[in-house]
Chain A
Amino acid sequence: MSLLVYYLQVTVFVGVCLAIGLAVFVGRDRIRTFAGEYRTRLRDGVPHLAVLGLVFVLSMYWRPVGGEVSWTVGMNITHTLYSIEGNLVAVIQRIATTELTWALSIIYVFGYVFLLVFPLVAYLFLEDLWALRVTTLAYITNYLVGLASYTAFVAYGPRNYMPRDVGGLMYEVWPEIETLTTHINTNTNVFPSLHTSLAVTVALLAWYTRDSYPRWFYVASFLAVSIAFSTMYLGLHWGADVAAGIALAVGSVLLASRVAAETSDESVITRAGRRAFSAADRRLPGTRL
């Protein structure tokens, strides 16, 4: 029940932000152009989003299984992570104030979802869908590497390793949100920080597309840095998780930008999508895209 309320809150918040984002970053001209050719854009763009969605759904199914596998064969590296950096997170938390905790908690939960969803929408409005293809591919890479790592390693975050020195600050000011976060992830999946890696991925991609969306680059960078910092500040992740997350982001963006097809015609996913759409077309005329 309450869980549904949180999902609804997130959806509404992200919806409003998306609308504002479209107005501010995408602009009227691109929206008008898009309105003219939305059929081809959606036809060529949606298949990539569908693949991303599929990976996302599969990963949801894998997580509980992966958790069990992880306990069976995974390496417990919590102590190692602590040995690397010691009390870093405890030191970071010395600057904690209630206001900052609230701000970073909201960015961590809501800002993060917006940061990830916005490029998927905004890049549909670019004439060239290359950025969209790279984005979905980079997200998928992040996800798969993240899941593999969560399966290979059992690692608890700093608040679980040193509960008297590091507080779960977000849960202290906002205990209800724990229902949502634990529904999405378990507390043994901290290495690497996927919050960090995906956020940094978006920022790096925003740099690629800075000519088209100059203002978005600044906002995305600000959010990415805040999110990476918040994961440590809130006691959820080790510095090492964040470092690994940044490395994963760089790796996935480099890989995706090399691998992604240069044009829509070359893209396997786009072509498969076009075939699917035209097949649907023949069967159901009138829903032509």
Chain B
Amino acid sequence: MSAMVIDERDNVAVALSNIKRGDKILVGIGEKFMDIVAKSDIPLGHKMAIVRIPKGGEVVKYGAVIGRAMVDIEPGEHVHIHNVESLRGRGDLAKRVK
């Protein structure tokens, strides 16, 4: 197993090793497993999408919403600050509204 899903409601898995683009990844979800081909390099501890997350869609980890997709994210893609934004403490958004 080289990635694990923490809560079965999650749409991302956590990489348990340094994953390279093109690697076939065995993802553990509780007692079950699924195969996903990595679409990007994913460093140890970083997140990988396990399903398609459309632009504006919620990113879910620990069974909780941790942010919003800024672009469409495909299964196997690295999920991080380049494609996910926070919904909280966003002074920049408040400023734009003004």
Are these two chains actual partners, yes or no? Answer: no
